[in-house]
Chains A and B, each alone.
Chain A
């Protein structure tokens, strides 16, 4: 975030060259934990990219027709077949939780303990809803006979890519939900105001932790944007 000493440094690419060539700290004004989260997210980007690229290659190279996701993921509502309904709701739920997280980070830096805590809790509940709907979607498809090695709709590779990609993303959401609940409790308890030392670390708690948690949560939403586009809509 903004720091008075940072404003005096050169900006843009000139600033980048100066930062990289400077003593001790390349990422000026960025807490080390935040840099580490970004590096982790970068590596995670490569993992998800590998999944999506292998999906692209698999789908492009099969000689059998790919199942139509619009029909496979359709829901019957009142006798009408609504395409991709559940997936659309899941997308909106995840974006909602991303928004509450962004606001939680903002209120955290403003030292508004209650707003921050409750918004993190809202984010966690949104994430939990998302995982619940994904579990429903998985059980529905499994019930219809979709397996990693076969499915009744078309190309056999469909199942393995579906379970692998959405499963890995769902795992990320689940881990995020667990951490959101832990941090909601820590925030509401006032750990970040009193600087209470954490369970695993001797360092004092700080609201920057909320931003780091937020980065992870937004990344989960970001990955879903790509999965939604490439797996469900394409």
Chain B
């Protein structure tokens, strides 16, 4: 990259975008804290936690980390490996269920 090219590189994003995302992150964090404050339980709690979490993560990655404006070559290289993590989560969730099942079986019934 030569110097003249660098000088032309001026961001095209207005400050309003960043302030909006910033505000949204505050609001979403406040909401996720409220989930604990009102002590929601069970499926409602987990759904709300995950919703706010993914919204926050998405906003940070898309706008603060500029992925929304990057070319698909970079975006796809970064996002597809996440499917491997999703598979790992699925595997270990099943494994955790099996472990607790065998523990209950052997610790408390002696395997009978």
Contact = CB atoms under 8 A, between A and B. Distances in A.
Interface of A: 1-4, 6, 9, 11-13, 15-16, 19-20, 26-31, 35, 38, 42, 45-46, 49, 53-54, 56-63, 70, 83-84, 88, 91-92, 95, 98-99, 101-103, 105-106, 109-111, 195, 206, 211, 214-215, 218-219, 221-222, 225-226, 228-229, 232-234
Contact of A98 (B5, B25, B93, B107): B25
A98 B57 CA distance: 12
B109 interface: no
Contacts of A228: 32, 53
B44 interface: no
Given A42-B78, A63-B107, A83 B29 contact: no
A206 B66 CA distance: 18
Interface of B: 1, 3, 5-6, 8-13, 15, 18-19, 21-22, 25-26, 29, 32-33, 35-37, 39, 45-46, 49-50, 52-53, 56-57, 60-61, 63-66, 69-74, 76-78, 81-82, 85, 88-89, 92-93, 95-97, 99-100, 103-104, 107-108
Interface of B, secondary structure class, is helix
The DSSP consensus for interface residues of chain A is helix
Contact of B53 (A1, A46, A226): A226
8 contacts: A1-B9, A30-B71, A42-B81, A45-B81, A56-B89, A61-B96, A214-B64, A225-B53
